[in-house]
Amino acid sequence: MGLNYRSHANEAQMTLPDEPLLFLKPASAISGPNDPLLLPPLSATTDYEIELGVVIGRTAYGVSTSEAMDHVAGYCIVNDITERTWQLHRGGTWDKGKAHDTFAPIGPWLVTTDEIPDPHRLAMHLCIDNETRQQASTNDMHHRIYQLIAYISQFMTLHPGDIITTGTPAGTALGSHSKHYLKPGQTMTTTIEGLGTQHTPITAAIRPVPVDVAAGS
């Protein structure tokens, strides 16, 4: 979900959406909580976004807000890594800026709903090399989890194992005056209260070798 935290919309100088802003990340973007983040070749504007992930436990299609939370299995940390130039200046939808390999570190745990009494009151913290970049609470969400599930289920079936990322608070490189985007050699630490911690080393991806199809090589 895009622009779902009041503080982030404010720092990005964008208006909070009347309807939830929906985009998709491919399964190929998923990586583990301690796996390296691969910066795309020639990328200069890759950004971080700490987010609460909502893991679907029961098939949901056309559900109401009152029954939406019955379809949640639990919660996890997701870092919605985004290449901002691809997202905002390459035309079309946001998906291309969200889709690179390793752009969705998930985990370390799936914590069941009985362990998280109120998912809208969890402390969030992200730092780069011990420098705090994002520090907030899930209470800053504009559209709540039950609203997101009901909304998305109007347009597609949510299956067990699907993950809804619920937005990020202020503190992103995009929204900061310094524009400190991610660089190889840094380490990112991402924590949400009750959900554990990710430790993500940042490295440069190797540019693929072009294949000459005509020459068969």
pLDDT digits (tens, 9 = 90+) for 93-126: 888 999 999 999 999 999 999 999 999 999 999 9
Range list of H helices, the chain: 6-11, 65-68, 84-89, 95-98, 145-152
Which tens digit of pLDDT belongs to each residue from 51-91?
999 999 999 999 999 999 999 999 999 999 999 999 988 88
pLDDT at residue 127 is higher than 70: yes
pLDDT at residue 217 is higher than 50: no
74: its two tokens: 């639990």
Mean per-residue pLDDT, 136-141: 97
Nearest-angstrom CA–CA distance, 147 and 66: 9
Reported as a pLDDT band with limits 50, 70 and 90, residue 176 is: confident
pLDDT of residue 205: 84
148: its two tokens: 């997101």
pTM for this entry: 0.92
pLDDT of residue 4: 95
172: which residues sit within 8 A by CB, 6+ positions away? 8, 11, 12, 47, 48, 49, 133, 134
- In the chain, the domains with their CATH numbers are 6-13+45-171+183-204 (3.90.850.10)
Nearest-angstrom CA–CA distance, 131 and 147: 34
Encoded amino acid at 201, one letter: P
Which tens digit of pLDDT belongs to each residue from 17-47?
999 999 999 999 999 999 999 999 888 999 9
Q: What mean pLDDT value characterizes the chain?
A: 93
- 12 three-state secondary structure: coil
pLDDT at residue 208 is higher than 70: no
